[in-house]
Chains A and B, each alone.
Chain A
Amino acid sequence: MDVRNEHGSSLTIVLIFSVFALITTSVYIISQWTIAKPGLLAPSSFQALLNARSGIWKAMELMNAPPPDTLASINTLGTKFNDTLFGKQTQNIADSSALPPDDTTDVSIFSSDSFGKCKVIFTYIPCFKNLESNGIFRMQSKTVSARLGGILHTSPDTVCFLGTKIPPQGGGLIDGKVTQIPDSTLGGPTKSKFISEFRKQDLVKVISYYKAKFSNTNDSLFQNSVITIQDNDKIPTIKDIVNGPLLLDGSHHDLYWKEKRRILVLGDLQITGTVTVENIEFLVSGNVNLFDNCVFRNVSIFCSKTLTITDKAVFSGNALSLYQINASKRGRIENNSVLVAYNEKKDTSSSRIKVLCSIFLTQEVRCDGTVISCGNRAGIKTDKNVIIHGSLWSDSVICHEGTLLGFMRCKELISSEELDSRQTSTPPPISGKNVMKGSVRRLETIADYPYPFFMGKPSIVSWEESM
């Protein structure tokens, strides 16, 4: 019995050994596969990223496609001359010239579809366009976001672009070159890629887009009373559409609101106390008031009325106001921000007061960014003790008494006395001379400052890739 048991056990041992060896080897191969999987998927993953990147370029082309009438003629030519390549290109553009905002569009990116496709969505953020491209290849997906703006061809040496040849007077300091803007570029868009290029039709388009947002929500709603937020717990209760004025009050508790979200406020927006807001896009049908040490970081604001930054409030991001921008009392504009005031209001004959300016930087304001004023009241006024890094761009006059490092562009420089006299007299006298009491110095990093998409040459001002 014992002998038989010994003989029988050899088979059992072999079986156990075999099973153990197979398990060990299987574990080895599974571990090898697990280790290898990311490496083996790396090409698909990278191609998906390339598709997403390529989608940005394709979308940029589509957004800047020529108008349909041009396309019609090109298509006719393509058919007439039976040029397949030419015909294909025009067809691509004709298909895609409508890249509507807020809608996802499938974009064919390569000549061969075997390398995958991508989906593109573009949204307006007041001064820029945001493009998001989602590249797909063999179950792999990657996302790339790009912010589209403009670049101006400027040299740090030129600090002053003026509408007339008259050199600035008035005791101001100009450390750099003063250049005259060619007449052809004054007062509107031109084909020139010069400093003055301003595409009003693009700006009007974005304003219409936002106005449509307001009108779509106004139809069915009545405004509520002021919605006051005084506690962080209440912040999640803020709806996407706030049907009335919104007050964020950080006087009692510090408020912190960081979210990638678009909030439409049908009324005024007021921030007071210790409040920090990040990454939010506000569309406000009334005034926007940033008071008392509040901090806005990477925030976008579309404001139908006046934007006020005062009492040490800090703003960084981009803002478009349809009436006026006032920064005062040690308010700070930081991080290459962009502020645009576009005031279309015309002077009424009943009032003798003509408001020439739509941007006021006063009382020890510090500004790091681009300040642009255009429309019918396109003046900019800076007080002494105001320091600006960046540029002042006006389609009209600038009254500069502060310190500017960068450059300014305007039709005429005027003194504050003259500004006052022009605002109260009808019709305003034209002095014909450039007067400036402030200082302008060159800034080496001026090329790093972004401009809105409706100015200068279209370009990508920021780029973000998903990992």
Chain B
Amino acid sequence: MKHARYQDGMTILEALIAILILGITTTAITSLIVTGDRIAGRRTTIYTATTLAKSEIERLRAYEKSLVLPKDTLYDEVVNGVEYEVKRNWIPNDTISMNSTVLHREYSVSVTRKINQSVSVSFRTLQGYYGEPTQ
């Protein structure tokens, strides 16, 4: 009888500890899964934004031998149902080239996910021109 009562007490304690452990484990697991999904989501966003920036910079490079310089641009792109804003700016700080044969300009290219307006990625590049472009 004494032995049986001891056993009952342990069962409640065991159950409580088990519930506690289960709770902690479930919270940890949920948190880890959410983090994992967040990483995956962030990766997709950053990767897509970088790809869009690469495309824009390739467009910029096409002007290398052009006779006109590209103008600043701002446009939206939808990739897998997510809307991104692509912005390319000429940074006028560093544009004077003393050399008459090769001119280069500094540009900033940023891609923003439009849902929460957070800047996903931002790049800086120099683009040279030797097609004697007009300003």
**Interface centre among A26, A35, A46, by most B CB within 10 Å?**
A46
With A28-B33, A47-B123, A64-B99 known as contacts, the answer to whether A111 contacts B91 (CB < 8 A) is: yes
For the complex, give the distance between the alpha carbons of A53 and B125 in Å: 8
Q: Does B54 interact with chain A (Cβ within 8 Å)?
A: yes
Q: Does A349 interact with chain B (Cβ within 8 Å)?
A: no
Contacts of B18 in A (CB 8 A): 10-11, 14
Q: List the A residue with the shortest CB-CB distance to B41.
A: A36
Q: List the B residue with the shortest CB-CB distance to A14.
A: B18
Q: Does B43 interact with chain A (Cβ within 8 Å)?
A: yes
- For chain B residues 9-52, which have a beta carbon within 8 Å of chain A? 10-11, 14-15, 17-18, 21-22, 24-25, 28-29, 32-33, 35-37, 39-40, 42-44, 46-47, 49-50
With A32-B36, A35-B40, A90-B98 known as contacts, the answer to whether A110 contacts B46 (CB < 8 A) is: no
Contacts of A53 in B (CB 8 A): 125-126
- Among A15-23, A172-180, A231-239, A391-399, which stretch is in contact with chain B? A15-23
With A10-B15, A61-B97, A85-B93 known as contacts, the answer to whether A29 contacts B124 (CB < 8 A) is: no
Q: List the B residue with the shortest CB-CB distance to A3.
A: B7
Whether B21 lies near A14 (C-beta < 8 A) is yes
Contacts of B29 in A (CB 8 A): 21-22, 25
Contacts of B86 in A (CB 8 A): none
Contacts of A58 in B (CB 8 A): 104, 126
State which of B7, B44, B121 has its C-beta within 8 Å of the C-beta of A4: B7
Contacts of B69 in A (CB 8 A): none
Q: Is the interface of B mostly helix, strand, loop or mixed?
A: helix
- For chain B residues 108-135, which have a beta carbon within 8 Å of chain A? 121, 123-128, 130
Q: List the B residue with the shortest CB-CB distance to A148.
A: B102
Minimum CB–CB distance from B93 to chain A (whole Å) comes to 4
- Among A37-45, A353-361, A410-418, which stretch is in contact with chain B? A37-45
State which of B11, B28, B35, B57 has its C-beta within 8 Å of the C-beta of A7: B11
State which of A28, A64, A111 has its C-beta within 8 Å of the C-beta of B94: A111
Q: Does A189 interact with chain B (Cβ within 8 Å)?
A: no
Whether A57 lies near B102 (C-beta < 8 A) is yes
Whether B57 lies near A50 (C-beta < 8 A) is yes
**Interface centre among B7, B22, B124, by most A CB within 10 Å?**
B124
Q: List the B residue with the shortest CB-CB distance to A191.
A: B100
Q: Is the interface of A mostly helix, strand, loop or mixed?
A: helix
Whether B124 lies near A50 (C-beta < 8 A) is yes
Whether A42 lies near B106 (C-beta < 8 A) is no
- Interface range for B: 35 or more
Whether B123 lies near A57 (C-beta < 8 A) is no
Q: Does A8 interact with chain B (Cβ within 8 Å)?
A: yes
Whether A61 lies near B102 (C-beta < 8 A) is yes
Minimum CB–CB distance from A461 to chain B (whole Å) comes to 12
Residues 87-114 of chain A: 1 if any B CB is under 8 Å from the residue's CB, otherwise 0?
0011001000000000000000111100
Whether B93 lies near A458 (C-beta < 8 A) is no
Q: List the B residue with the shortest CB-CB distance to A58.
A: B126
Q: Does B1 interact with chain A (Cβ within 8 Å)?
A: no
Contacts of B32 in A (CB 8 A): 25-26, 28-29
Whether B42 lies near A18 (C-beta < 8 A) is no
Minimum CB–CB distance from B20 to chain A (whole Å) comes to 9
For the complex, give the distance between the alpha carbons of A29 and B36 in Å: 5
Minimum CB–CB distance from A368 to chain B (whole Å) comes to 23
For the complex, give the distance between the alpha carbons of A135 and B4 in Å: 75
For the complex, give the distance between the alpha carbons of A54 and B91 in Å: 14
Minimum CB–CB distance from A1 to chain B (whole Å) comes to 9
**Interface centre among B37, B43, B54, B106, by most A CB within 10 Å?**
B43
Q: Does A65 interact with chain B (Cβ within 8 Å)?
A: yes
Contacts of B44 in A (CB 8 A): 39
Contacts of A15 in B (CB 8 A): 21
State which of A7, A85, A112 has its C-beta within 8 Å of the C-beta of B96: A85
Contacts of B46 in A (CB 8 A): 39-40, 42-43
Q: Does A115 interact with chain B (Cβ within 8 Å)?
A: yes
- For chain A residues 416-467, which have a beta carbon within 8 Å of chain B? 457-460
* New A-B contacts (5) at CB < 8 Å, excluding given A3-B4, A39-B47, A460-B130: A21-B25, A29-B32, A29-B36, A43-B50, A57-B128
| 17 pairs, CB–CB < 8 Å, chain A vs chain B | A8-B10, A29-B35, A33-B39, A39-B43, A39-B46, A40-B46, A42-B46, A56-B128, A57-B102, A58-B126, A61-B98, A61-B99, A64-B102, A110-B94, A111-B91, A115-B124, A459-B130
Chain A to chain B: the 8 pairs with minimum beta-carbon distance, closest first: A54-B126, A36-B43, A57-B128, A39-B43, A32-B36, A18-B25, A115-B124, A39-B47
| Residues of A participating in the B interface, judged by any CB pair closer than 8 Å | 3-4, 7-8, 10-11, 14-15, 17-18, 21-22, 25-26, 28-29, 32-33, 35-36, 39-40, 42-43, 46-47, 50, 53-54, 56-58, 60-61, 64-66, 74, 85-86, 89-90, 93, 109-112, 115, 457-460
